[in-house]
Amino acid sequence: MKPEILFLKYAFPCSFVLKQRGEISQETLDMLENAAINSMPLGREILEKIYFRAIARMKALAKELHKDYFSEDLIREYFTKRHNELLDGMCNGIKDKGLDIDKNAPPALKHLCKVFSSKIIKKGEDYYVVHYDYGGQNKKTRVVSRSLLPDAEIGDFVAIHYGYAVEKV
Amino acid sequence: MCLAIPGRIVKIKSNVAIVDYKTEQREGRIVEGHCKKGDYVIVQGGLVIEKIPKKQAEDWLKAFQK
């Protein structure tokens, strides 16, 4: 998969929040949704402008790991690991302006923002119901849209971000 | 990080929740679990994906209004 497509699939679920915060317009949100659903690669300069927070953190991570910041490998490393660690406040040594307003954020919302590996237990017309581990013995259930990953089956493991299945893992 | 802002269910028609976000209203289908009027939820892709505990949702909304 082209890194531009993979990045957008992981980042797109956050776009609703950017719209709620007034950072992007409804037209931009629709354009991003269309590109994410149809796996259309957008220009990197557009992605870097809209998702500047993620890009800045990916660049920092790439520097640590001596990797290209816009490779499939690094995009997965960022969204499935670093992004969650930042939300858990585990990266105290890292300067991160974007986190300033989020320190007091409710746990339920931080939780939705994380990326989890989950198992599909039910398939609906346009959604999956998934199960995922959440601390020790706790299993959580979530409804996620099939729009970014329409062809997964019951029993498959998929990465989820907010209300979307992102890719098979 | 891009933490979502929850909306409040103002009406439920069969399995469709009308969710109020102050600036707009959005519809979300309830396909799993139970929701009732007054619950705070996150809607994405036309689906109610998760309920947010009331206290957490209200505190967060207050923080945003400041």
Residues of B in contact with A113 (CB under 8 A): 1-4
Q: Which residues of B touch A (CB under 8 A)?
A: 1-6, 21, 31-33, 42-50, 52-53, 56-57, 59-60, 63
Which structural domains are found in chain B, ordered by start?
7-65 (2.30.30.140)
pLDDT reported for residue A87: 82
What's the DSSP call for residue A81? Answer: I
Nearest to A11 by CA among A43, A73, A53, A63: A53
> Taking 60 as the threshold, does the pLDDT of residue A25 lie above it?
yes
Q: Is A45 near chain B, with CB under 8 Å? A: no
Confidence (pTM): 0.90
How confident is the model over B2-61, as pLDDT tens digits?
678 899 999 999 999 999 988 889 999 999 989 999 999 999 989 999 999 999 999 888
How confident is the model over A84-120, as pLDDT tens digits?
888 877 555 555 555 444 666 788 888 888 999 999 9
Rounded to the nearest angstrom, the gap between the alpha carbon of residue A27 and the centroid of all alpha carbons in its chain is 21
CA distance A153 to chain B (A): 18
CA distance B9 to chain A (A): 17
User: E strands along chain A, which residues?
Assistant: 115-123, 127-133, 139-145, 157-161, 164-168
Residues of A in contact with B5 (CB under 8 A): 17, 20
Whether A53 and B6 lie within 8 Å, measured CB to CB: no
| Residue predicted with more confidence, A107 or B64 | A107
Candidate from B1, B21, B47 with C-beta closest to A143 = B47
Overall average pLDDT of the A54-78 stretch: 95
Answer yes or no: are the C-beta atoms of B15 and B29 closer than 8 Å. Answer: yes
How confident is the model over A114-165, as pLDDT tens digits?
999 999 999 999 999 999 988 777 789 999 999 999 999 999 999 999 999 9
